[in-house]
Amino acid sequence: MIRIGLALLVLWAGAALAADPGAALKARQAEAQKQQSQLRERIGALQKDIEEQERSRKDAAVALRESESAISAVSRRLDELDAGKRKAEGELKRLEGQIAEQKQVLAQRQSELAGQLRAQYASGLSPWTALLSGDDPQAIGRELGYLSYVSQAQAEAVRAVRAALDRLASLQEDARTRRQELVRLADETGKRKQELQEQQEERRRVLARISGELRRQRARAETMQRDEQRLGKLVTGLEAEIARQAEQARLAEERRKAEEARREAEARRREIERQRQAALAAQKAARQAQARAQRERDEQAARQARQQVERARAQARAAEQAAREQPAPPPARVEPEPPGGAMQGLRKGMAYPVQGEVQGRFGMERPEGGIWRGIVLRADEGTPVRAIAPGRVVYANWLNGFGNLIIVDHGAKYLSVYGYNQSLLKQVGQMVDAGEAIATVGATGGQVESGLYFEIRHNGAPVNPLLWLAR
C-alpha cells in the first residue's frame, strides 16, 4: 500500500519535489503515513458498521470481547518486555566482560609503574646524587640524560594508569545503568504478568457465567451462519478498499506519465521554435550581407556577397526542413504498477501457520450446523501463529464467533484469515514476512479447546487451504 501512496504523491508534488530530493522524501513518508491512517480509518468504520448491526442481538459471546482483547494487548506487551530484557542482559554481559578486561589492563599498567620505581630506587639514581657525586662532568651529563628518559617513561606510565582508571569508571557506570534498566523491566514485567493473570481470571469468570448460553448458541446453526456472514462482509469490505486504492494508484500513474509526455512534447516544440528563430536570424544576417554587397561598387565583392547570401539561405532552409521532418517522440506507454510492492499473492506448498491436528475440514458439515469454510489446527495455548506468505495486516481486532482475529493481504486478491487467537502481535498496516509470528494460539470467541481457525480467500470466496499448504 505504501507504493500506492507514492504513486498518488507524484501527481501532487510535480516539478518542485523533483528539484528538492529531501522534500520529496519527506512528502513520500507523509503520504505513506496518510495512506496507512486512511486504511485504519476505513477498517475502523467497517468494524463499527458490523458492531452496530449486531448490537440489537443478544449474543452472549459479546461479553468475552473486552477481556480477550485485553489479554491480547497484555501478551503483546509481555513479548516486547521479554525482548527488551534479553537485549539489556546481553549489553550487561558485554560490559562485564569489558570491565574484567579493563581491570587486567589497569593491573598491568600499575605493575609496570611499580617496576620502574623499584628499579630507580635500587640503582640510587637521582639528579642530586649525580651532581654531588664528584664524577667526571661528562659522566654526570650522561646520567642526567638517562634520568630524563626514565622520568618520561614514568610520566607515560602514570598517564596510562589514569586512562585505565577513567575507562574502568565509565564501564562501571554503564553497567550500573543496565542493571537499573533490568530492574525496571523486571518490575514492569511482574506488573504485566499480574495484570495478565487478573484478565485471564476475569475471562474464566465470564466464560463460567455465560457457558450455558454459549452451549445453546453453538447448538444453533443460525449463529454460525451469522458468524460466517459477518466474516464474509468484513473480507468483502477489505477487498473493496484494497481494489479502490489500487485503482487510484493506477490512474495517478497514468496521469503522471501523460504529464511527462506532455512536458516532453512541449520541450520539443520549444526546441523547434528555437531552431526556427535561428534560421530567421541567419536569413536576416544574409540580407544584411547582401545589402552591404550592393553598396560596394566592386563587382567581385558583390559577387562574393551574393554567394554568401545563397549559402545562408540554403542552411536556413535545411534547418527548417530538418525541424519539420524530425518525428515527435512516441507517447510513453503506461504500465500499471502492481499494488502491494513485493506482495504477489500465494503459491502452493506453503508451511502451515501452526503445527497441529487438522479438524473441521473444508467443505464438511459442522456438528452444530453449517459448512466449514476453513480448517481448525489444534495446538497448545500460546503457540506462535506464523504468516504463510509475505503481506500486510489489514485487520487485527475481536470479531464475534472468531475471537481475536487477524487478516493478512498477500496481493493478487488473496487473503489469509487467522481466528481464535489468544494474542494479536501485529497491528493494521504492518508488513509481515513469511514465517513471521503474528499471533499466539488461544481459545477466544467462546471456544472450549485451544486451536487456530484458518482460512484462505481469493476474490472474497473461501478456498480449501489444504490445497495450498505443504503436504
Question: pLDDT tens-digit profile of 64-106?
Answer: 677 778 788 888 888 888 888 888 888 888 988 988 988 888 8
What would the grid cell of residue 177 be?
545503568
- The domain that contains 202 carries what CATH number? 1.10.287.1700
| Full residue range of the structural domain in which residue 417 is found | 341-467
Q: Are residues 264 and 294 in the same domain?
A: yes
Choose the final residue of a domain: 325, 356, 375: 325
Instruction: Report the alpha-carbon distance of residue 466 to residue 106 in Å, rounded.
Output: 65
Alpha helical stretches, state H, 296-359: 299-325
Q: Is residue 31 part of a domain?
A: no
Q: 374: Cβ–Cβ under 8 A, 6 or more apart, which residues?
A: 360, 362, 417, 453, 454, 455, 456, 462, 465
Choose the final residue of a domain: 292, 325, 358: 325
Q: Are residues 313 and 350 in the same domain?
A: no
In terms of Cβ atoms closer than 10 Å to its own Cβ (0-12, 13-18, 19+), residue 342 is exposed
Instruction: Report the alpha-carbon distance of residue 339 to residue 247 in Å, rounded.
Output: 9
Q: Is residue 52 part of a domain?
A: no
Q: Are residues 97 and 199 in the same domain?
A: yes
Q: Is residue 236 part of a domain?
A: no
Average pLDDT over residues 381-393: 96
Give just the sign of the alpha carbon dihedral 394, 398, 399, 405. positive
Q: Are residues 278 and 397 in the same domain?
A: no
Residue with cell 458492531: 51
How is 187-244 classified by DSSP, letter by letter?
HHHHHHHHHHHHHHHHHHHHHHHHHHHHHHHHT-HHHHHHHHHHHHHHHHHHHHHHHH
User: How many structural domains is the chain composed of?
Assistant: 3
Instruction: Report the alpha-carbon distance of residue 240 to residue 245 in Å, rounded.
Output: 9
Better-scored residue on pLDDT, 10 or 468: 468
Question: pLDDT tens-digit profile of 160-194?
Answer: 777 878 888 888 888 889 888 888 888 888 888 88
Q: Is residue 55 part of a domain?
A: no
Instruction: Report the alpha-carbon distance of residue 453 to residue 227 in Å, rounded.
Output: 13
pTM of structure: 0.53
User: Cβ(376)–Cβ(452) under 8 Å?
Assistant: yes
Question: pLDDT tens-digit profile of 301-315?
Answer: 667 767 776 777 777
Q: Are residues 193 and 309 in the same domain?
A: no
Q: Are residues 311 and 346 in the same domain?
A: no
Q: Is residue 241 part of a domain?
A: no
Q: Is residue 230 part of a domain?
A: no
Q: Is residue 233 part of a domain?
A: no
Question: pLDDT tens-digit profile of 100-129?
Answer: 988 888 888 788 778 777 776 666 555 555
CB atoms within 10 A of CB 200: 17
Instruction: Report the alpha-carbon distance of residue 288 to residue 281 in Å, rounded.
Output: 11
Mean pLDDT, rounded, of the chain? 78
CB atoms within 10 A of CB 428: 20
- The domain that contains 381 carries what CATH number? 2.70.70.10
In terms of Cβ atoms closer than 10 Å to its own Cβ (0-12, 13-18, 19+), residue 351 is middle
Q: Are residues 347 and 277 in the same domain?
A: no
Q: Are residues 294 and 211 in the same domain?
A: no
Q: Report CA-CA distances (Å) from 442 to 74, 75, 350, 354, 453.
A: 14, 11, 23, 12, 10
Q: Are residues 191 and 309 in the same domain?
A: no
Q: Are residues 305 and 378 in the same domain?
A: no
Q: Are residues 345 and 303 in the same domain?
A: no
Q: Report CA-CA distances (Å) from 29 to 179, 336, 426.
A: 37, 22, 21
